[in-house]
């Protein structure tokens, strides 16, 4: 539900702009408002679950998500809509973080946990694939507002199932108080960091605005570190870093997210270089999500149970790097079935194989009382990696295109070569993730 609402809105942007009256620059915040709060609240959501109980937080955030979805559907001004999207992102961050924590706490046996986490990864991959089809179908058949209205009864039904079927998992005794100052500075620093990255890709990395924002982020992070050092119940407990594999997996997750952000350029290549319609580009990208979904559920958990998490993680990351490298060979007059489909399928296959063992490796040594904070942190690393990766790839690709246009290259050729650079950088991110896993992940069944 969360991933569908996060991606479905992309295909409805033209209709939303016409109906609500967004400007060209303001329209991007239909997506960014969700993404910034989604990144900023994942760590806080995980820690709140450890303190208050994952069941209570999970059910409450589902209700908040439903209310925010209704507000999106009924929004009439850009301000109202962006505030509602930000609330959706914050609630969605808590939902996905609490869900992973509940799974880790419920399934303690290695084989059952592997299958449960594989199902979690499968659901996330399916959400990304269904979002594009769901958003396009509802916008064409009914109205873009139905994208958000459909989440209202679903969220309420899931909240009711949560309250009636799940067991509360508050593991900390003596009702410890949340470190309010640390929670506020941490959330603000994460949101400011993602906003800075998004802004830098538009205004330039060396602009004065970006410098000021970077200084604000640095000050907030410094204040957070000082507060955490003195807090009795810190938002980020130091004990979660006692697991070396957890720390390494956070880095790998950020690198993988940065690498797969290059998939955005597949859609741009198909539309602006090959002349596909938007819905055709969405269908052409569908094999990525389907391959990721199928292999995350059908193969990844078996590989983990047979070989442990390290080998399938390295295998999946290597296949993803190969898929991105093949995308860098596309031509301006290429054929989607030959040039794009195999590479996109390999990218989805690699990501699908790598995600499950990475989550298992990160969470398997985590104490039950810290699963929320740990799942929140690894999710935050994914969001930061995706934002930073997309910003770097966009800036590098645009610079390459402008350079070629100034030298007299044809526009289509300049676009194609600019996208090549994005795919190459994505492959490099994936290759660094492979090297990190090989060098630093401990071998264990």
How far is Cα of residue 174 from the mean position of the Cα atoms in its chain? 35
Which of 24-28, 54-58, 135-139 comes out lowest in average pLDDT?
Answer: 24-28
Which range, 51-65, 123-137, 248-262, 386-400, is most confident?
248-262
What is the average pLDDT across 266-279?
74
pLDDT at 333 over 70: yes
For residue 118, the SS3 value is: helix
pLDDT at 436 over 90: yes
- Measured on CA atoms in the order 367, 369, 373, 378, is the torsion positive or negative? positive
What percent of the chain is modeled with pLDDT above 90? 16
What is the average pLDDT across 62-87?
89
Q: Same topology for domains 1-173 and 240-445, yes or no?
A: yes
- Measured on CA atoms in the order 268, 317, 388, 411, is the torsion positive or negative? negative
What is the average pLDDT across 44-66?
82
pLDDT at 253 over 70: yes
User: Per-residue pLDDT tens for 8-18?
Assistant: 777 676 677 77
pLDDT at 445 over 50: no
- pLDDT value at residue 279: 61
- The correct CATH number of 240-445 out of 1.20.1250.20, 3.30.450.20, 2.60.120.620, 1.10.150.120 is 1.20.1250.20
What is the average pLDDT across 235-239?
74
Per-residue tokens: 139: 């916008």
What's the CATH superfamily of 1-173? MFS general substrate transporter like domains (1.20.1250.20)
Comparing C-alpha atoms, which of 329, 333, 335, 332 is closest to residue 413? 332
- pLDDT value at residue 148: 86
How far apart, in whole angstroms, are the C-alpha atoms of residue 358 and residue 76?
42
For the chain, give the mean pLDDT. 81
| Secondary structure letter of residue 179 according to DSSP | -
User: Per-residue pLDDT tens for 129-172?
Assistant: 677 667 667 766 777 788 888 889 999 999 999 888 887 655 55
pLDDT at 24 over 60: no
| pTM, two decimal places | 0.78
- pLDDT value at residue 322: 95
How far apart, in whole angstroms, are the C-alpha atoms of residue 442 and residue 381?
20
pLDDT band of residue 177 (cuts 50, 70, 90) is low
Burial of 413 (0-12, 13-18, 19+ CB in 10 A): middle
How far apart, in whole angstroms, are the C-alpha atoms of residue 124 and residue 102?
16
pLDDT band of residue 75 (cuts 50, 70, 90) is confident
For residue 330, the SS3 value is: coil
- Measured on CA atoms in the order 281, 287, 288, 294, is the torsion positive or negative? positive
- pLDDT value at residue 302: 77
pLDDT band of residue 323 (cuts 50, 70, 90) is very high
What is the average pLDDT across 331-335?
78
What percent of the chain is modeled with pLDDT above 70? 87
pLDDT at 255 over 90: yes
How far apart, in whole angstroms, are the C-alpha atoms of residue 444 and residue 315?
16
Comparing C-alpha atoms, which of 28, 32, 39 is closest to residue 189? 39
* Domain boundaries of the chain, sorted by first residue: 1-173, 179-232, 240-445
């Amino acid at each position: 539900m969360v991933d569908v609402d996060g991606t479905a809105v992309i295909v409805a942007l033209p209709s939303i702009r016409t109906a609500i009256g967004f400007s060209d620059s303001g329209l991007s915040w239909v997506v960014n408002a969700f993404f910034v709060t989604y990144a900023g609240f994942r760590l806080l959501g995980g820690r709140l679950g450890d303190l208050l109980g994952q069941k209570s937080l999970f059910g409450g955030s589902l209700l908040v998500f439903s209310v925010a979805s209704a507000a999106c559907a009924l929004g009439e001004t850009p301000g109202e809509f962006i505030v509602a999207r930000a609330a959706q992102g914050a609630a969605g961050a808590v939902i996905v973080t609490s869900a992973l924590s509940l799974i880790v706490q419920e399934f303690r046996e290695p084989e059952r946990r592997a299958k449960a986490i594989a199902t979690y990864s499968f659901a996330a991959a399916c959400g990304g694939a269904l979002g594009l089809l769901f958003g396009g179908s509802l916008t064409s058949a009914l109205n873009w507002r139905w994208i958000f209205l459909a989440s209202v009864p679903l969220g309420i039904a899931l909240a009711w199932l949560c309250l009636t079927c799940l067991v509360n998992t508050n593991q900390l005794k003596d009702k410890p108080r949340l470190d309010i100052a640390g929670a506020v500075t941490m959330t603000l620093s994460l949101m400011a960091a993602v906003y800075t990255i998004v802004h830098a890709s538009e205004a330039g990395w060396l602009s004065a605005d970006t410098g000021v924002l970077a200084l604000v982020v640095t000050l907030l992070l410094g204040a957070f570190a000082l507060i955490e050092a003195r807090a009795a119940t810190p938002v980020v407990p130091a004990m979660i870093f006692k697991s070396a594999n957890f720390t390494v997996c956070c880095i790998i997750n950020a690198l993988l997210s940065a690498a797969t952000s290059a998939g955005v350029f597949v859609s741009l290549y198909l539309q602006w270089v090959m002349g596909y319609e938007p819905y055709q580009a969405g269908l052409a990208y569908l094999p990525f999500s389907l391959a990721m979904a199928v292999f995350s559920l059908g193969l990844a958990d078996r590989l983990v149970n047979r070989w442990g998490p390290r080998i399938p993680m390295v295998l999946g990351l290597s296949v993803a790097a190969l898929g991105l490298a093949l995308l860098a060979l596309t031509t301006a007059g290429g054929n989607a079935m030959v040039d794009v489909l195999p590479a996109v399928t390999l990218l989805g296959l690699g990501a699908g194989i790598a995600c499950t063992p990475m989550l298992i490796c990160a969470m398997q040594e985590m104490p039950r009382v810290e699963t929320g904070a740990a799942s929140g942190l690894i999710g935050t690393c994914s969001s930061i990696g995706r934002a930073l990766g997309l910003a770097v790839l966009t800036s590098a690709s645009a610079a390459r295109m402008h350079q070629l246009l100034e030298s007299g290259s044809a526009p289509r050729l300049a676009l194609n070569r600019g996208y090549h650079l994005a795919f190459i950088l994505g492959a490099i991110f994936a290759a660094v993730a492979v090297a990190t896993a090989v060098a630093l992940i401990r071998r264990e069944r």
